[in-house]
Structure 1
Amino acid sequence: MSFSAYDLTSIRFAYSPLGEVSTGVHALRTPTGRVPHLPWFTQVRPNIVRKSDPTVTSRLMTPTLRTERLLLEPYVLEDEDDFVTLFRDGRVSRWMGNGPAPEAEYRALFGRIFTKVYAQDLFDVWAVRRNGRFAGHAEIKPAKVAEGHEIIYALTPDLWGSGLGRELAEAIVAHGFDTLGLGEVYATVAAPNSASLAVLDRIGFEHVRDMAEDDGSITRVLRRRAAGPTRQG
């Protein structure tokens, strides 16, 4: 899956266009007010309200999802270090762009989840937890590679090989079909990423086409239709 550290939708595993914005989380409290364009580090971050503030939880539109072993819920500020650690891990970023970006870029990216995605209810993005601990990242958002939505997910490497990738992907797909009413969902995966390709194949994704990236690598575009079967194994 592609990921670019510029923002949550140019992450090469397909985030939607974010960028520095003039709306801060202050807009969650005063939706009719105006908030100047302010850098995350010096202006926006100190003003973001805390998890316990009911004005945030009441406005967050991303629903909480549960699977047998995982909890998907909206991010809170306390997740920042875990988010940065996940995407700076070379084993994760290997499949999400050109390797780890500077830490400051990931921290700015995390801030835009609040100042852009949640503030404007753009799409659903979750922190993934297992047994109360941070376990990964997930989202479903309008796709750039096709007319539709695509799923995006990443688990911490210590959980790889446990079947949780399939469990997580199935939960996001089910949300797309059952809650969002989508007729199909997409995913993009780097061609050498055989593990992710196998997971998506098992849950009914089919190859649509290949895309050549600027660096010469190949990204596979996959699709699952709402009536698509889930393969066993």
Structure 2
Amino acid sequence: MRAAGRRALVLAGRGRYEDPWHDTAATSHEVATALGEVGVAAEVRGTFTGAFGDLAAFDLVVVNACSARPAPDGEIDGDDDAWGDALTALGAWASSGGRLLALHQAANAFQDRPAWAKTWHGMLGGSWVPGRSMHPERGPGTFDVRDLAHPVTRGLAGPDATLTADDERYSYLDVAPEAHVLVTQRHDDVDHPVVWTHDAHGGLTVYDALGHDARAYREPVRRRLLQREALWVLG
């Protein structure tokens, strides 16, 4: 399955939207390469305010950015006001039918202000909750496929309806009831959604909590999952 002729914008967190734990340059390169393998031409941009001005030129936007670290004096990429137009453009694009694939730490990206945090949650169908969301120590983990018939996951799991990956297992995310959960993982005797689809905001989104580092994206099953997510959200 391929999507020749389709274009994707991969937004790699930097500056205001980078953190010390995620090498978004390396993971964005892996994402772009994986998309290219299925015919999607991907352009990688850092999260500068000017990166959001032509979203309509792309068939898919992939968000690989981190939690915001705004500085009171605006020393990191400008103050909140400087980001108003960029975040407005992202929200308008998504609600007008935009196709969005949000990865791993993107559950906590673009949540600089309370009003926008609600918008980002609505676009993703969920979010990281500071003080509640967490992940156990990274290592090999089992992930349960909840919808074996969905095009993203059909035929991807083993006979026991599971996937295995050496990655972080995000837990206690806030997931909207309208979200359609595809994959979960079990921690503290609770099933935690880690992959879901969402369309209640006017566009179409896949959120995938896997993908902590470049090594994670090189695992064959995880790479196929990413490619299927992109192809499905592109239609």
Short-chain TM bin: 0.3 to 0.5
TM-score by length of 2: 0.32
TM-score where L is the length of structure 1: 0.32
Question: Higher strand share goes to which structure?
Answer: 2
